Amino acid sequence: MTNFTPAWWLSNPHAQTVWPRLTRSRRLVRFRRESLTTPDGDELILDHLEGNPSPHFILLHGLEGSSYSISIQGPLSVIARRGFSATAINWRSCARDPRNILKSIPNHRPRFYHSGETIDFDFVAHTLARRNPTHPLVAFGVSLGGNALLKWLGEHPSQSILAAAATLSVPYDLGAGAKYLERGAGPWYVGSFLRTLKKKVAHVVEQFPETRSIIDLDAVMRSKTFREFDDAATAPLHGFRDADDYYTRSSSLQFLPRIQTPVLCVNAEDDPFLPPDVLPKVAATASPSVELRVSPRGGHAGFVTGAAPWKCEYWADELIVDWLASHA
């Protein structure tokens, strides 16, 4: 596939990032929904796309996304067009009510999900592999979901469940990314995430009174940066000492040298969520199994091309699905 050339009217990284979220449909495919009980008594909502199960795609969405996110619906529409099947994982607290996709379905345990969460993905991947042991599995993760996928691959270098994996717009270094988003347009992006995250934390504190001893809800509600929120909520809820401990232990950058599974990592140099000095570190540390495809432009999970606004094409969706299918 040729290199990415941005649409002439979307040369700005913020335009590339925001345009798909404003214009793409969040109902491009039809799902069959399944509620999967986790080993700790919670539930994971899986949304299945029917089709040829060779290969079967597993998709992991980003922060505060869901199976209805445009960064998941886009690849799913390509998967459907190619005739393949897929399963989109909804991280805990992220599944949407199909009748109102703006409404999240709360989970049943005093925890959420985070950038280093690999236990739930491991559980789903093993479950799907047991159901269809003769069909190859491939996985795709965007942003937070991609970071978790790369971390899992590094934690299990000799795994044989996935034939291949691909990621889009992974931040790689969570601490550097959080700091980078404190400048420029960063606070605008962060604020949109924190609006829903704060509501979820308030719900957890109300539903599980035992969390009041570890969560300072006032500090959560005052938070304006990812670091402040992760210090007050993410870290204590998930067993980290503080935000720095969470970032250090969960960043996928340190796991890249151990990956032995074929992986395609797609990033844009102008990604507003990614500090410019991170991608050279990725290129220098990643194992030979990791193919890093970097474009000068594309924003965060954007990569919009096309001749006119009403004829948009999404370069990364096509590239990733075809690459995974060819490596299955």
| Nearest one of 173, 189, 188, 300 to 244, comparing CA atoms | 173
Percent helix / strand / coil, the chain, rounded to 5: 40, 20, 35
pLDDT confidence tier of residue 281, bands split at 50, 70 and 90: very high
Burial 9-34 (b: 16+ CB within 10 A, else e): ebeebbbbbbbbeeebeeebbebeee
pLDDT at site 141: 98
| Average pLDDT score over the chain | 96
Dihedral sign, Cα of residue 217, residue 221, residue 222, residue 228: positive
Query: Above 70 in pLDDT, residue 2?
Result: no
Closest residue by Cα to residue 66 from 159, 142, 147, 151: 142
- The average pLDDT across 294-311 equals 96
- In single-letter form, the type of residue at position 286 comes to A
pLDDT tens-digit series, residues 199-236: 999 999 999 999 999 999 999 999 999 999 999 999 99
User: Taking 80 as the threshold, does the pLDDT of residue 247 lie above it?
Assistant: yes
Task: Identify the pLDDT of residue 38.
Answer: 95
> How many Å apart are CA 134 and CA 132, to the nearest integer?
6
Predicted confidence (pLDDT) at residue 12 exceeds the cutoff of 60: yes
Report the alpha-carbon distance of residue 198 to residue 204 in Å, rounded. 10
Active-site residue flag, 270: no
Single out the catalytic residue among 271, 295, 317, 327. Answer: 271
Smallest CA-to-CA distance from 271 within 1, 12, 4, 73 is with: 12
SS3 315: helix
Give the Cβ contact number of residue 134 at 10 Å. Answer: 6
Q: Does residue 301 surpass a pLDDT of 80?
A: yes
pLDDT exceeds cutoff 60 at 1: no
State the DSSP string of 192-228.
HHHHHHHHHHHHHHHH-GGGGGT--HHHHHH--SHHH
**pLDDT in the model for residue 255:** 98
Active site residue 300: yes
pLDDT-based confidence at residue 268 (cuts at 50, 70, 90) = very high
Over residues 11-16, mean pLDDT = 96
Phi/psi class of residue 158: alpha, beta or left (left: φ > 0; alpha: ψ in -120 to 50)?
A: alpha
pLDDT tens digits for range 129-186: 999 999 999 999 999 999 999 999 999 999 999 999 999 999 999 999 999 999 999 9
Which is catalytic among the residues 77, 143, 223, 295?
A: 143
CATH number of 13-172+255-326: 3.40.50.1820
Residue 14 has pLDDT above 90, yes or no: yes
The pTM score is: 0.97
**pLDDT tens per residue, range 49-108:** 999 999 999 999 999 999 999 999 999 999 999 999 999 999 999 999 888 887 888 888
**Alpha-carbon 317 to chain mean position:** 14
The torsion angles phi and psi of 264, rounded to 5 degrees, stand at -110, 125
Per annotation, catalytic residue among 61, 156, 300, 327: 300
Is-contact 255 151, C-beta < 8 A?
yes
- Whole-angstrom Cα distance, residue 91 to residue 61? 8
Percent of the chain past pLDDT 70, that is, above it, reads 99
Helices (H), the chain: 13-23, 70-82, 119-131, 144-155, 174-180, 186-207, 217-222, 226-229, 235-237, 243-250, 278-285, 315-326
> For a pLDDT cut of 90, what percent of the chain falls above it?
94
Instruction: Map out the domains of the chain as residue ranges.
Output: 13-172+255-326, 174-250
Is there a contact between 325 and 55 (Cβ–Cβ < 8 Å)?
A: yes
Q: What is the CA radius of gyration of the chain?
A: 19
